[in-house]
Amino acid sequence: MLRGRARAANGLTELTLPTGELIRSTDAADGEAVAVVYPWEVTVSQAPPDDSAQNHIAGVVASLVPVGNRVRVRVGPVTAEITADSSERLGLKVGERAVASFKATGTRLLPQA
């Protein structure tokens, strides 16, 4: 969950996080809101990809937690769930930088009272 301030922008909703980063959602919200992004909706790379995902959060890998044949990867405020093979192929290591990416269509917004 990512907390921030939501506002309409270019047919989407932009949520400004306390860090100043912007994420986008297809859900409507205005004012204080929470974004929910499921870990399996998040991809991880070593550099921002040139793809259709509108949300890219760069940060330090805070944790790598094996879960069967998958790995839960924490990058900044976002948790991704990727295959163990992808984690190994990317050479992910705690303390090193990575980019978590996710689509606006996979970002749910909940208004805060």
| Tens digit of each residue's pLDDT (9 = 90 or more) over 24-77 | 999 999 999 999 999 999 999 999 899 999 999 999 999 999 999 999 999 999
User: Widest CA span of the chain, in angstroms?
Assistant: 43
Contacts of 58 (CB under 8 A, 6+ apart): 48, 75, 76, 97, 98, 99, 100
Whether the per-residue pLDDT at 113 is higher than 80: the answer is no
Q: Which SS3 state, helix, strand or coil, does residue 82 take?
A: strand
CA 44, CA 48: separation in Å to the nearest integer? Answer: 9
For residue 57, the cross-strand partners are: 100
Q: Which SS3 state, helix, strand or coil, does residue 102 take?
A: strand
pTM, whole model, 2 decimals? Answer: 0.91
